[in-house]
Amino acid sequence: MHMSSVLSVLMALSSIPGSHVHGCDLALSDCGAQAPGDIVVGIMLPCHRKVNGVHQRIRPENFLCSDFDLQSFVRSLAVIYEIEKVNEAGFLPGVRLGYLMCDTCSYASKALQNVEYMLRVNNSFDVKCNYTERRPMVKVILGALYSEVSIAVARLLNVYMVPLLSSTSTSPELSDKLRYPVFLRTIPSDKHQTKAVVKIMQHFGWKWVGVVYGDDDYGKAAFQSFLQDAEADSICLAFQKILPHYLDDSQSNELIKLVAQVIRSSSAKVILLILKPELVEALFKEMIRTNITRVWISSDAWSRSLSLAQMDGINQVGDILGVTFVTSRSSSFDDYLKNLTATPGGYNHFIDEYKNLRFRCTPECFSSNPPSSCTDLLKIKSMNACSFTESQKQNDDFLVKATDTSEPYMTRVSVWAVAHALKKLLHCNDSSCSGETDFPPWKLLNTLKHVKFEFQNQMFNFDSQGEFLNGYDVIMWEKDGSHRRFQRIGSYYLPDNHIELDVKEYTWLSSDNSSIPQSRCSKRCKPGSEKKIVNISCCYNCTPCEEGTYSDEWDAENCRKCPNGTWSLKGKTECSPRWESYLRWSDPHPITMVAAAVFGILLLIVTFIIFLVYRNSPPMKKAEVRLSSVMMAGLAVSFASVVCFMGKPSVHLCRARQVTYALGFTLCVSCILVKAYRTFLAFLPFGRLIHTQLHKLYKPPLIIIVLTVVQGMICLLWLIFDSPDIDDTPPSPQSMKKIIQCREGKTYFGFGIMLSYIALLALIGFLLAFKGRKVPQEFSEMGYIIFSMLMYLFVWGCFIPVYITNREQGTPVQASAILVSTYGIIFCHFLPKCYEALCGSKTDTLEGILWRWRVTSGTGLDSEPRASEESSTVNTPSQNGLRFSVSSMSAIMMNSGTIGEVNHTDSDLVTSPVSKEHVPSYIMLTRQGSELTRRRRSISF
């Protein structure tokens, strides 16, 4: 082990400035920092942003770097600081860690040149077929900063199996252990970073975004990963643009202006930038120049770039969010940066270069008209630079203030990962390490993959892909005067892909208030609607949910079907059971109809009492009390059927209400038909034979019973073959109302026959009454019959089209029709008779009535009889050819009980308005006249 230490020292001495390796002047090379040690750790990070003249390079000359990068310089110092801490702590007893730091200048080819230098053995690089026992000076390399460089370096290191440990390279390609077995990293892959970015977009509702990425391996891989994650979460790309990853590209400025124009013209308000910080700075300058404000989402490459946060006009670009690795500030590291010196026994030309930039006097830059080259230099230059005599001895806190010293946290962790792996490989205890220090690097690689350690109260270890899964911090670039500062607003946790954000009190610069800026191709679809894609998933039209479906969330992809037993109208956010609609007992309409039915029954009872009390009065005799009582019973049954229309329908109620109404009203109409038929026979002229035949048919009880029984048979057949039941017609999709109503059979055939039968009886009654309309009202009720039957036919004629066209209102309409037609009969047939009976109206004698009927019918009144009163038959020609049989009329009326004997009381009721001198002597009846029924002769006019 002692010999190994001596060899390491000799190697370090051979590589000090001024020595030559293969003709390369190391003093001018970019491996400008080194410290001797038993085990040397390679540091491959850029201290400069670019290599000059890459596009003009035609010979394999040395690379010349420019543009000193403060943040990356601080990162390299963090590695050196932690290596010194490991040595100071005696973590590896008896073993000292050294380092060799080479500047990649952010260029992969330059990094490969550095690898050749780091892997030399005895200042030479021999080519062999088997490198198992190759023991180069550098055992592990920490770096590189960018994935593109790491990919190139890792491919070369695969040959020698030298571990490459990065704390910044995040390309998902590097997770492929078949292609990059030597690569490890102390951070998650970009496949997790892009998931975190998508979660941020999803949290804020940003579905329409633009992406600008670099054409390097990091940018391409990160973009592809984002594309997959965005598609999975329905985030769409408004545009995607690519920029050359190297700023020295001659076309980069034109491409940046072109990208800026695309951003300006796009409707996307959120832009994801997967770029290096220098490209972001160039793009932001163009956006500031054109005064364009957007929401920018940063990748880890520039999410904590302090140079960007402090650039002029940064507040004009809008809001900036980003994901960054877990960070932690160290006060001891800050103190180290305030007192920069090279490691004892080593050198650091990068510290020298920084101090020259910071403290060396450059008079032309402090003149009144400084050259353009001083613009960036003055950002680093101390205002007191020209007062210092020795710049290399100066120190201040500029690096602490100008850079983010918490960012290199994972870089510091990587040093301790190597230290713990070495401790295990070298079999170290508290006092010594027994292992060989000059070991082949592949042994350290195997140990490093399985290392598990604690650092600052956190546990770290590599997963199967050689990565740390320690999540991300989500930061917001808050306004801090004319610059920005980084404010942590949440975290993204692995491996459950959970994000927590808190931006409630943040004032968005893009919207000038606390409302979150919107970036959508289409407006959000409200609950109760669904998206109909137009071209891509983010561009859509919002259409209301159809009946029977619902959506209870914003931007629903599809409306969901309502569960069984529930329904929804168009554009609803929830489903609910349909409410049942029927004539409830508590509703005003049913209450009114039931009250009308009860009142009708009471009215019939009162009418019946009046008819009984005044049954011997002429009006009641003419109305025929017994026949009227049967009519009242039928009407009462019809009124009772209305009650069956109320309440929730059942099969029994559906059947009972129709049968009850049919029988009751048929009974009533049959009685009316008998009345019309009676008058028709008594007063209308027929031949003797026809008259006799028709007279034989006049049997009121039999007619009423037969007509009612026929209706009963119709109802019975109806109930047997097409019985009424509950209507199972599905409710209307446009209604939340479920109508519970009766269906009068599947074909409605029985229902139609039942109503048609009643209508036929009413029509016959109407025709008979209409035929005898000229018969004196005192002898008949033809006018009442005509009016009541017309009312019935009109009401039910209106009912049928309403019932057919509006089945929902069929039940209340039929109940109303029953009430109207029933009340019509009461008002036409019974109330006038009650009025006459109660008010005692006068009635003419039979002879007066007959004489006035002859006047209205046109018969001559001045003709003398051809025979005496004693002759059996007296015939007088009539002008209209009409004949009236007194004997037949008397017989019919006697049979019906309308009139009895003409007694002395009857003769006192003569109130004819015709004067006696105009009344023929053969018409007048004396008080001692014989009874009409005893006259067996026929008198014809």
Could you please report the per-residue DSSP string of 410-478?
HHHHHHHHHHHHHHHHTTB-SS-B-S-SS--HHHHHHHHHT-EEEETTEEEE--TTSB----EEEEEEE
Most confident by average pLDDT, 110-114, 127-131, 500-504, 744-748: 110-114
Among residues 301, 296, 173, the alpha carbon closest in space to that of 225 is found at: 173
Above pLDDT 70, what percent of the chain? 83
Cβ–Cβ under 8 Å, residues 264 and 275? no
With H, G, I as helix, E, B as strand and everything else as coil, classify residue 554: coil
Query: For residue 24, what pLDDT band results from cuts at 50, 70 and 90?
Result: very low
Q: Give the pLDDT mean for 418-422.
A: 97
Q: Where are the beta strands (DSSP E) in 206-257?
A: 208-214, 236-243
CA distance 694 to 771: 15
Where residue 748 falls (left for φ over 0; alpha for ψ -120 to 50; beta otherwise) is left
Q: Where are the beta strands (DSSP E) in 747-898?
A: 873-875
Q: Give the pLDDT mean for 891-907.
A: 38
CA distance 870 to 859: 23
Among residues 459, 472, 324, 395, the alpha carbon closest in space to that of 77 is found at: 395
The answer, yes or no, to whether residue 888 has pLDDT greater than 80, is no
The DSSP-derived string for 832-844 is HHHHHHHHT----
pLDDT digits (tens, 9 = 90+) for 168-177: 998 889 999 9
CA distances from 669 to 201, 661, 913 (A): 81, 12, 35
pLDDT digits (tens, 9 = 90+) for 255-289: 889 999 999 999 899 999 999 888 999 999 999 99
pTM, rounded to two decimals: 0.61
CA distances from 866 to 690, 870, 876, 922 (A): 27, 12, 8, 12
Q: Beta-carbon neighbour count of residue 716 at 10 Å?
A: 12
Tokens representing residue 534 in the block: 């137009």
pLDDT digits (tens, 9 = 90+) for 384-404: 888 888 889 899 999 998 888
Exposure class string for 338-348: b at 16+ Cβ within 10 A, else e? eebebbeebbb
The answer, yes or no, to whether residue 185 has pLDDT greater than 90, is yes
- Report how far Cα 10 is from the mean position of its chain's Cα atoms: 75
Among residues 828, 819, 832, the alpha carbon closest in space to that of 598 is found at: 819
| Residue 57 pLDDT | 83
CA distance 530 to 554: 9
pLDDT digits (tens, 9 = 90+) for 63-99: 889 889 999 999 999 999 999 999 999 999 999 999 9
The answer, yes or no, to whether residue 785 has pLDDT greater than 70, is yes
The answer, yes or no, to whether residue 802 has pLDDT greater than 70, is yes
Cβ–Cβ under 8 Å, residues 217 and 173? yes
CA distance 894 to 892: 5
pLDDT digits (tens, 9 = 90+) for 433-456: 999 999 999 999 999 999 999 999
The answer, yes or no, to whether residue 492 has pLDDT greater than 50, is yes
| Residue 786 pLDDT | 81
Among residues 114, 124, 126, 121, the alpha carbon closest in space to that of 136 is found at: 121
389 HSE (CA, 13 A, CB side): 0
Exposure class string for 423-440: b at 16+ Cβ within 10 A, else e? bbbbebeeeebebebbbb
Tokens representing residue 880 in the block: 């209209």
The answer, yes or no, to whether residue 106 has pLDDT greater than 70, is yes
Paired strand residues for 20:
25
Average pLDDT, the chain: 81
Query: 734 or 848: which carries more pLDDT confidence?
Result: 734
What angle do the packed helices 688-697 and 886-896 form, to 10 degrees?
0
